[in-house]
Amino acid sequence: MLKDQNEIREKENHRVFKQLLNTFIQTEQEEFTKVDNKETYAQNVKIIPKIFYNEFTKQLKVEFKIGEKPSYKIKNLPEFYERMLTKQVYQYGSRLNLVHQEESFEKQSIPILKFLLKYSEIMKYNNEVANGYNYYIKNFTPDNILISNTGLDDFFDSLEGEEVLFQKGEKEKTIHFLAKEPNIIFNVKQIENKFKLLCNIDVFSYELLQGKEYLYILFPDAIYRCSTQFQLTTLKLLDVLRKNYTNEIIMDETELTSFFAMIAPKMQKQIITQEIDVAIKERCIPKKLGIKIYLDYDINNNITAEVKFCYGEQEINPFMQQKNNIARNIVGENEALNQFINTGFLLDKNNGRLVLNNEDNIYSFLSEEIDDYMKKYEVLATESFRKKQIHSFQMKSIGIKVENHLLQIDLSQIGIDLSDLSEMMQKYQLKKKFHRLKDGSYIKLEENETMQFLEELSVNLDLNYNSLKDGIITLPSYRSLYLDKMLKALKNVEIKTDKTYQTMVDKLKENQNTNEIELPENMNAQMRIYQKIGYQWLKMLDQYQFGGILADDMGLRKNFTNVNGYTIIC
């Protein structure tokens, strides 16, 4: 009975192993067949998208074919995605046997393939969810992708520069995907004492398509990706024409002047004025706008800015009532004034100027923004303004000497009024960017070697700069080595030391090993090692008149031994 059970178990084990072996043999045969029949599979396969535009819903949808002469429509995009996921071999027709992998497609089709797979995956998982909740969720149509706002940006990216099949109603044609604005020109013509603004396109010949990041303009032969500036200028002008069902606008001379002051400066390259009399151009079209800025400080150390808009020889203060009969570039003037507002300038109406009175804004203006102003405008400054700039605080020299066994640090040549130092240090510790001196100028505190040195003195040597008198700091002489290490880190600073200090530091460096100090010959005691070290340490302190106390807290019974004037705890 037992023998029969063992035989059955062995046969079962053999059957399972044989199944395992056959599985791997079959896999190897399939791989071999793939390699052996590689030439039978299609290569450099083309993906052909076709766009359908619904004039009523203003929506785009896209279908896809693969192959070329003949081509085959992809009838089920989620199934195509599955085949690509598993690298499945599928026969689309007698002439297209395809291994579903990226390498099977032509290079030019790869971007649109990736778009197709991205949105087919979304479609697949949405439809799977919908199958369980049909009442609530609508299935996607499996043979096309409806282009959403986000999808439009992706779709355009995948086809930029390409020519694509496009169907609108019953008409089919090809359109180009162009990442630029269409060439739309506005011509201003003079007709007696009136002026006509005309556009070079039919204002009803295009449609607008909104992507997530971009706006697109669809013409019969192309789809263009538009910049924000194009939307705010050209498309706004076209929209006015469309809403009024016209291709032209009639203006008198006053209106023409306003047109060139408010609208034309934003789109100068698109405005043609060749058919206007020279005399009218002189009156209506602004000369080139130049901007002058005069900078100074007032009695409160606030920055003042007098602004002048210059047209040829004529200068205009925008904050004062002035009579002038010249055409002005209102757009350019407003752009400049907005920059002042963004910087933080306020209007001083009584004096016809702008004032910057916030310290943070002043520092930001002087350290960063003024460069942009100088690039754009003609900036003129008084001598007072030039003096009150941002300075990089750099200590010039520092003096060190020993007097009455104390270190004296001379900071009198630090380069600033010492009464400012305490407040500067407080701001530096709070990570402030600057300190404003009493004369109105600024000290940059960031990445400042001198401030870092003073901070280390303050923190590590327990200094209080409030009590600093005559620029002299007094320290115990045992701080010499630490101070010497800090001084060596300073760059571009003249360090003046007296002979006593330098001798003391040199000897300290030479005699850091206290083992060289021998015990007194007349000492009548057997000292432990730690007691010898304690004595040697005290002796070294005495040599440099540092002073010190040696004690322990071990809780042991102690004997006191006097050695040459030193009390040794035993």
- When divided into structural domains, the chain yields a total of 6
Is 174 contained in some domain?
A: no
Mark out the alpha helices in 160-277 (DSSP H runs): 228-232, 234-243, 253-262
Residue among 227, 77, 209, 63 nearest 149 (CA): 209
Phi, psi angle pair for 82, to nearest 5°: -60, -40
Q: What is the pLDDT of residue 549?
A: 63
Q: What is the pLDDT of residue 548?
A: 60
Is 421 contained in some domain?
A: yes
Of residues 318 and 474, more confidence is placed in 318
Of residues 256 and 322, more confidence is placed in 256
Residue 519 has pLDDT above 70, yes or no: no
Confidence at 2, pLDDT banded by 50, 70, 90: low
Of residues 122 and 517, more confidence is placed in 122
- For residues 559 and 525, membership in a common domain is answered with yes
Is 173 contained in some domain?
A: no
- For residues 410 and 438, membership in a common domain is answered with yes
- For residues 489 and 529, membership in a common domain is answered with no
Scan for tokens 């934003």, then name that residue: 266
- For residues 152 and 68, membership in a common domain is answered with yes
> How far apart, in Å, are the Cα atoms of 491 and each of 388, 393, 433?
26, 13, 22
The DSSP letter of residue 93 is E
Q: List, in order, residues 6 or more apart from 94 with CB less than 8 Å away.
A: none
Q: What is the pLDDT of residue 483?
A: 79
Residue 28 has pLDDT above 60, yes or no: no
Is 381 contained in some domain?
A: no
Residue among 536, 534, 529, 565 nearest 551 (CA): 534
> Final residue of a domain: which of 333, 351, 376?
376
Of residues 527 and 42, more confidence is placed in 42
Give the Cα separation of 113 and 506 in Å (integer).
77
* pTM for the structure as a whole: 0.64
Is 362 contained in some domain?
A: yes
Is 41 contained in some domain?
A: no
Q: What is the pLDDT of residue 81?
A: 94
Residue 516 has pLDDT above 70, yes or no: no
45 by DSSP, 3-state: which?
strand
Q: Strand 560-563 relative to strand 566-569: parallel, antiparallel, unpaired?
A: antiparallel
Query: For residue 502, what are its two tokens?
Result: 């330098």
Is 175 contained in some domain?
A: no
**Mean pLDDT across 28-32:** 53
Residue among 212, 102, 70, 219 nearest 155 (CA): 212
Of residues 553 and 463, more confidence is placed in 463
Is 385 contained in some domain?
A: no
Q: Which domain holds residue 294?
A: 289-376
- pLDDT per position as a tens digit, 443-490: 888 888 888 888 887 776 666 666 666 778 787 777 777 778 888 778
Q: What is the pLDDT of residue 556?
A: 44
Residue 381 has pLDDT above 90, yes or no: yes
- pLDDT per position as a tens digit, 37-67: 445 788 899 999 999 999 888 899 999 999 9
- For residues 501 and 430, membership in a common domain is answered with yes
Q: What is the pLDDT of residue 495?
A: 82
> Final residue of a domain: which of 246, 268, 283?
283
Backbone dihedral region for residue 21 (phi beyond 0: left; psi -120 to 50: alpha; all else: beta): alpha
- For residues 54 and 160, membership in a common domain is answered with yes
- For residues 25 and 111, membership in a common domain is answered with no
Q: Roughly what angle, to the nearest 10 degrees, separates helices 480-488 and 449-460? A: 170
- pLDDT per position as a tens digit, 154-191: 999 999 999 999 999 888 999 999 999 999 999 999 99
- For residues 416 and 303, membership in a common domain is answered with no
Q: Strand 163-168 relative to strand 47-54: parallel, antiparallel, unpaired?
A: parallel
**Mean pLDDT across 390-409:** 81
Q: Quote the Cα angle for 501-421-359, to 5°.
A: 155
**Mean pLDDT across 296-309:** 94
Range from 221-225, 332-336, 341-345, 450-454 carrying the lowest mean pLDDT = 450-454
- For residues 232 and 303, membership in a common domain is answered with no
- pLDDT per position as a tens digit, 112-130: 999 999 999 988 888 776 6
- For residues 303 and 345, membership in a common domain is answered with yes
Percent of the chain with pLDDT over 90: 44
Give the Cα separation of 169 and 56 in Å (integer).
10
- For residues 319 and 265, membership in a common domain is answered with no
> Final residue of a domain: which of 353, 376, 399?
376
Of residues 113 and 10, more confidence is placed in 113
**Mean pLDDT across 249-268:** 91
**Mean pLDDT across 253-266:** 90
- For residues 279 and 301, membership in a common domain is answered with no
Range from 74-83, 95-104, 229-238, 464-473 carrying the lowest mean pLDDT = 464-473
Q: Strand 303-311 relative to strand 207-210: parallel, antiparallel, unpaired?
A: unpaired
Of residues 505 and 203, more confidence is placed in 203
